């Protein structure tokens, strides 16, 4: 996220004034977000489908985790850094693969879902009180937002608070899935796992966007799209 400096009256009209928060042009924003999601979700899903077809559930999970870490290694070599979303995906998939491969127990296989949400809760909560909350890092990487070197207090507080919000969402999801695991049959649990996951992500995204808009208004900031 980038804050522009205020211009004098004699400066060109196309230079944004102070209070403008710049986002990439819509086409570039879509490309950047799509690329990150493809690396973290699309490629592992493809690897899971191929591995599962060739060797079953365990092979599919192992292939998905391996694909994420292979992508991370390529990213490290080419760019010198690994996106946070890719690291999160790798950690969660590795944890799930270990649970699946460690035993043939159906219970441990199903346990991967609440455990994965618990792991995500811990990851977000661990960074929330720091100077680098995870949501700020993900916003920079996934939608190409860049914070100024001296971020406005409201902006920094927003990222910390929303990181806590996501930690809470994953905590609630983990508890809810653990309760469902003990209370409903396996087919119903698998169906409700999808419902809980989608609902949690949708609610978190909506709340984050609304909170972001409210923060912009309170801080007197405006959104400006960059050139393609």
| Residue 11 reports pLDDT greater than 50 | no
Percent share of the chain, pLDDT over 70? 84
pLDDT at residue 8 is higher than 60: no
10 in a domain, yes or no?
A: no
More confident residue, 218 or 72: 72
224 compared with 61, residue with greater pLDDT: 61
Q: How confident is the model at residue 6 (pLDDT cuts 50, 70, 90)?
A: very low
The structure's pTM equals 0.75
User: pLDDT digits over 132-155, tens only?
Assistant: 899 988 888 887 776 655 567 788
49-95 residue pLDDT tens: 999 888 887 888 899 999 999 999 999 998 888 888 888 888 888 88
CA 138, chain centre distance (Å): 6
Residue 101 in domain: yes
For the chain, the domain total comes to 1
The model's pLDDT over 169-205, given as tens digits with 9 standing for 90+, comes to: 999 999 999 999 989 888 888 888 889 888 988 999 9
Q: Is residue 1 part of a domain?
A: no
Structure tokens belonging to residue 42: 């699309």
In a domain, 145, yes or no: yes
Domain coverage including residue 32: 20-225
> What was the pLDDT predicted at 147?
60
Indicate whether 102 belongs to any domain. yes
What pLDDT does residue 14 have?
38
pLDDT at residue 58, rounded to an integer: 80
Which is nearest to 68 in space by CA: 98, 48, 53, 52?
48
pLDDT in tens, 27-45: 777 887 888 888 888 888 8
Confirm whether 29 is domain-assigned: yes
The pLDDT-based confidence of 20 (bands split at 50, 70, 90) is low
Residue 126, domain member (yes or no) = yes
Closest CA to 40 of 138, 147, 116, 174: 138
Q: In 3D, which of 206, 223, 170 has the Cα closest to residue 26? A: 223
Instruction: State the CB neighbour count (10 A cutoff) for residue 224.
Output: 14
* 48 domain residue, yes or no: yes
Question: In b/e form, how buried is each residue of 118-131, taking b as 16+ CB within 10 angstroms?
Answer: bbbbebbbebbeee
């Amino acid at each position: 996220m980038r804050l522009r400096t205020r211009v004098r009256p004699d400066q060109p009209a196309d230079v944004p004034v102070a209070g403008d928060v710049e986002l990439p042009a819509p086409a570039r924003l879509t490309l950047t977000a799509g690329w990150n999601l493809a690396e973290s979700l699309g490629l592992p899903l493809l690897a899971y489908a191929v591995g599962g077809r060739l060797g079953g559930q365990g092979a599919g999970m192992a292939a998905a985790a391996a694909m994420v870490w292979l992508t991370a290694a390529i990213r490290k070599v080419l760019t010198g850094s690994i996106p946070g979303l890719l690291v999160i995906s790798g950690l969660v998939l590795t944890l799930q693969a270990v649970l699946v491969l460690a035993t043939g127990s159906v219970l441990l296989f199903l346990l991967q879902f609440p455990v994965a949400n618990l792991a995500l809760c811990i990851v977000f909560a661990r960074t929330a009180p720091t100077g680098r909350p995870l949501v700020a890092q993900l916003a920079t990487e996934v939608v190409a937002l860049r914070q100024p070197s001296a971020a406005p207090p409201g902006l920094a507080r927003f990222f910390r608070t929303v990181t806590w919000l996501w930690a809470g969402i994953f905590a609630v999801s983990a508890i809810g899935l653990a309760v469902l695991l003990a209370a409903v049959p396996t087919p119903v649990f698998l169906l409700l796992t999808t419902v809980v996951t989608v609902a949690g992500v949708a609610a978190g995204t909506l709340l984050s966007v609304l909170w972001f808009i409210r923060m912009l208004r309170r801080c007197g900031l405006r959104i400006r799209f960059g050139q393609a």
